[in-house]
Structure 1
Amino acid sequence: MTMGVSAATTANENDRELTIVNPQNLYDPTPNGYSTAVIMPRNARIAYISGQGGQDGMGALSPDFAVQVKQAYANLRTALDGIGAKPDQVAKLTVFVVDHDMSKLEVLTKNVKEMFGEALPAQTLVPVPKLAIDPMLFEVEAVVVLD
């Protein structure tokens, strides 16, 4: 993963890594667990991972938001393993949060930083009134560069 701070960074066509760009003249999003932009390598194969909720291996959902978020990221890690990818190959996350409020950001940021470290993907948080299954409070989907 290449880290960038330039507003004019472009990906080298021979580079097989993601390039993270956080322009200096924009708000620094890294304390909140994401990057402003991620450039994918030219001719990369892309995988899309469907939304992963907080269900455990038996399909059970905890009523606790923090437990669901932790499990959803564990499920995302399992999905990445299943396609032979690592967290630093994730270019973009979209997260869906039921009844979002600012108190949930700390939980989200902690989990994203634990999984991705310094290689923070681009990310969008979408507050929603509900998800596919009523007890679901959180879901995360990913765009992944395979090679």
Structure 2
Amino acid sequence: MSHTLSNPEGLHDPVPFGYSHLAETSGELVVVAGQYASDEEGGVAVEDFAAQVELAFAHLGRALRAAGLEYRHVVRLGTYIVDHDTEKLAILGERVNALWEGRPPAQTLLGVAGLALPGMLFEVDALAVRG
């Protein structure tokens, strides 16, 4: 099965960080790399946790649209929260339920001590299926 790696317009250039935003297979699977509240240069754009969740999911949507997909095509999310607690879980749950209209995909949430860059509090990756 062949695949194509790409970096959609409007998302920061991830190559200096060692990854690509999208991996599309010749079949039906599309893998979206971890999206976070990045600015145009790949730095962290906002400090607030809720704002980071919002921006990370906006970037996820942009990556999906670049592959011709929408949120509804996502079958699995991986979410990562620095210093996870129930307040942060509620913020995440609210955003996911709004985007997926109460029918969220499978999800694994990991509470972590830190993420790739200083100031990152949240990251989300996704597996989507065409069709």
Among 33, 46, 53, the residue aligned to 2:36 = 53
Aligned partner (choices 75, 80, 83) of residue 91 of structure 1:
75
| Count of residue pairs brought into register by the alignment | 104
The TM-score normalised by the length of structure 1 is: 0.67
Indicate conservation of the 8 Å contact 1:52/1:72, yes or no: yes
Describe how 1:68-147 pairs up with structure 2 within 5 A.
68-147=52-131
Q: Which amino acid aligns with 2:71?
A: P
Residue segments in structure 2 that go unaligned for 5+ positions in a row: 1-26
In 2, the alpha carbon distance for the partners of 1:107 and 1:57 equals 25
Partner SS state of residue 94, structure 1 = strand
Q: 1:102 to 1:131 in 2, by over 3 A?
A: same
CA distance in 1, matches of 2:50, 2:128: 24
Distance 2:86 2:53 in 1: 15
Query: Alignment RMSD, CA only?
Result: 1.3
CA displacement at 1:141 relative to structure 2? 0.2
Query: Larger radius of gyration, structure 1 or 2?
Result: 1
The structural deviation recorded for 1:145 is 0.1
Give, in angstroms, the shift of residue 45 of structure 1: 0.9
Percentage of matched positions with identical amino acids: 38
Tell me the CA shift for residue 58 of structure 1. 5.2
TM-score for the superposition, normalised by structure 2: 0.74
Unaligned runs of 5+ in 1: 1-43
